[in-house]
Amino acid sequence: MKPTNKQTLWLRWVLANAVGEMLGLGATFAVLVYFFINLGNQGGVTAILLSFLVDVFSGVLEATIVGLAQWWAMHPWFPAIKRRAWWIATLIGALLAYILGYLPSTVMDLGAEAGAAPVAEPPQWIILLFAAGMGLVGGAVLSFAQWWVMRGKVDGAAWWMPANMLAWLIGMPIIFWAIDAAQKGQPPLQAGLLLAVALLITGAVVGAIEGVFLVRLTPGAA
């Protein structure tokens, strides 16, 4: 059966997010691994703050790749949304989300450096629950910046924020699980493949959920 325009939009959106997250977050993780191998073993407040800056600004890679891929997917249905505006909104939202995401661990590292007792690693279910909370907040921050571009151009644009919150509530724990699994004695190649597949799946899951809402926002949607 020939797909309708809305089905095509949903499929393009899922594809754009799946490939975009795999490449974008993959590139981000590669930068962080390189930094950790070369500089991460150096102690001190300066190294912790430098690590925080690298963590945050590595998000430029993800935001650029994912933002441009998303614009490619949606542009035929939403021609009023310009590529540069969508990219900038995605970039701003991603950087703010990265700041909020990396701030707690940075504060704990600074506390440990100051002589405070180290915090024991919590059970995995607590970590995954925390990841879901991060996804909820991060999705809200990211989508608010994108909503700012959509408002006035897309009817019902306010639905974009709960769509992203729900999508990343489910997607973020997948990433945390994959990172934990990749660190458990996996050979480098196997760990890299595991992360790549997990990022692809995460992008597809997030894109599938967002896409359901996006299709409803197309002009003339019932």
Q: What is the pLDDT of residues 126-159, one digit of tens each?
A: 989 999 999 999 999 999 999 999 999 999 999 9
Residue 5 reports pLDDT greater than 80: yes
pLDDT (mean) for 69-83:
96
Q: What is the pLDDT of residues 174-209, one digit of tens each?
A: 999 998 888 887 788 898 899 999 999 999 999 999
Q: How many CB atoms within 10 Å of residue 221?
A: 12
Closest C-alpha to 173, from 123, 122, 126, 117: 126
Residue 117 reports pLDDT greater than 70: no
Q: 201 vs 51, 100, 178, 181, 220, CA distance in Å?
A: 28, 24, 11, 15, 31
Q: What are phi and psi of 28, to 5 degrees?
A: -60, -45
Residue 6 reports pLDDT greater than 80: yes
Burial of 129 (0-12, 13-18, 19+ CB in 10 A): middle
Residue 18 reports pLDDT greater than 50: yes
Give me the percent of the chain exceeding a pLDDT of 90.
62
Q: What is the pLDDT of residue 172?
A: 95
Q: 198 vs 20, 23, 54, 203, 211, CA distance in Å?
A: 13, 12, 23, 9, 19
- This prediction's pTM: 0.88
Confidence of residue 2 (pLDDT cuts 50, 70, 90): very low
Q: Which amino acid is at 79?
A: P
Q: Which amino acid is at 208?
A: A
pLDDT (mean) for 99-107:
81
Give me the percent of the chain exceeding a pLDDT of 70.
91
Which tops the pLDDT comparison, 95 or 183? 95
Closest C-alpha to 149, from 137, 167, 161, 138: 161
| Contact (Cβ atoms closer than 8 angstroms) between residue 73 and residue 215 | no
Confidence of residue 4 (pLDDT cuts 50, 70, 90): low
Closest C-alpha to 78, from 172, 184, 5: 5
